[in-house]
A = this chain, B = another copy of it.
Amino acid sequence: MRSPAELTEAFRAHGLKITPQRQLLFRLMHGNECHPTAEALFQTASEQMPGISLRTVYQTLNDLATMGELRSLDLGTGAVRFDPNTDDHHHVVCDHCNEIRDVYVSGSDALSISGLDGFAVSNTSILFNGLCPRCTAVSE
């Protein structure tokens, strides 16, 4: 995802308006590595802008995802999460505390795959589940 300033430019270029709500969400998402849910962002945003609506948070995040500025992730944690990292990467989820981290995988072109006959695959995602370092330590 680009910087708030660049996004402001891009929005204007597309004829979209720049509102305080959008600018706040640009800032909250830029460089954000927490993979937050819309609800979580709404909580944070509400602190800096009381009265902002959850509906606007969803709306803006979906717009950014449609523009390719961020990825929406369904990692099986109940709510969709948003990731400003648009690199080709994957994720690991802690089954206990739901912490999420980016995972980089290379060499996948060497995989031998069967069952995709006829499918036009546009996306491949790898999801790792397990326990994060903290939860691993606690459960021992």
| Binding stretch for chain B, among A39-47, A60-68, A114-122 | A114-122
Assess whether A136 is interfacial by the CB under 8 Å rule.
yes
Assess whether A69 is interfacial by the CB under 8 Å rule.
no
Q: How far is the CA of A104 from the CA of B119 in the complex (A)?
A: 14
Q: Is the interface of A mostly helix, strand, loop or mixed?
A: strand
Given known A-B contacts A74-B74, A74-B76, A76-B74, A123 and B130 have beta carbons under 8 A apart: yes
Given known A-B contacts A74-B76, A110-B107, A110-B110, A101 and B115 have beta carbons under 8 A apart: yes
Q: How far is the CA of A114 from the CA of B107 in the complex (A)?
A: 12
Interface residues on A, range: 35 or more
Identify the closest chain B residue to A140 (Cβ).
B120
Q: How far is the CA of A101 from the CA of B121 in the complex (A)?
A: 12
Given known A-B contacts A110-B110, A127-B125, A118 and B136 have beta carbons under 8 A apart: yes
What are 27 A-B residue pairs whose CB atoms fall within 8 Å in the complex?
A74-B76, A92-B116, A101-B116, A103-B113, A103-B114, A104-B115, A105-B111, A106-B112, A107-B111, A110-B110, A110-B111, A118-B132, A118-B133, A118-B136, A119-B128, A119-B132, A119-B133, A120-B130, A120-B131, A123-B129, A124-B126, A124-B127, A124-B128, A125-B126, A125-B129, A126-B126, A126-B127
